[in-house]
Amino acid sequence: MRRQADARVWLALATFPIAALLFANAFYFNKQQFWTAMAAGVFVLAVLAVVIRGLALYGAPADGLDLAIGVGSFAGLYATFWVGDKLVRFIRPVSGSEISAIYDLRSQAPLALIAVLLVFVIGPGEELYWRGLVNWALSSRLGDGASVLVGTALYGSVHLVTQNVAIILAAVVAGFVWSMIFALRRRLFPVIVSHVLFDLFLFVLAPVG
């Protein structure tokens, strides 16, 4: 049993190059069809997570505290990014064009379709893979503290291909928060709630820019 668990951990970590390639495909090689490429790539990663880990983790019971943590962390992240947007534009004016480049992606598809992809594919799928698989594997080998730091670094690193400082910083900040929640709660429900709401508000309902 221990040998099987170790094999799953190493197999989970071995999927990282696949994640990096899929993110590069969406953000760089196939940027003109970003939403299709991103949704397809995240779906592949979510399937990998389910195949490697099985369904036990994803069926973990959630409670009211998980929901409160999910909604509360989203609200905190959104407020942080709203304030950060104003500060960054003031301190580093060139960031305005970087932030605008993020929202240019909204023009590639109807907002209703983007919302559906974010809520049902991209948000949940990213958490199944990054927290449910990668952070789980890192925690198994390195412990919770190191898994938060290394998991955040890996999540941020796949966004380097964007060459957009605003996107990279956003990934690092949000990735750290979601990694911390997963380390504390050991459940995906609160991070999925937080991630889905964050993406939905940031890209569709109330963009901070």
Length of the chain: 209
Task: Say whether pTM exceeds 0.85.
Answer: yes
- Distance between CA atoms of 106 and 34, rounded to whole angstroms? 10
Q: How far apart (Å, rounded) are the C-alpha atoms in residues 26 and 65?
A: 34
- pLDDT computed for residue 1 by the predictor: 46
Burial class of residue 195 in the structure, from the number of CB atoms within 10 Å of its CB (0-12 exposed, 13-18 middle, 19+ buried): buried
Sole residue written with tokens 């400082």 = 165
CA 14 – CA 131 distance, rounded (Å) = 15
Render each residue's pLDDT in the chain as its tens digit; 209 residues.
455 567 889 999 999 999 999 999 999 898 889 999 999 999 999 999 999 988 766 667 788 999 999 999 999 999 998 888 778 776 766 655 666 666 677 888 899 999 999 999 999 999 999 999 999 999 998 999 999 999 999 999 999 998 888 889 899 999 999 999 999 998 999 999 999 999 999 898 888 76
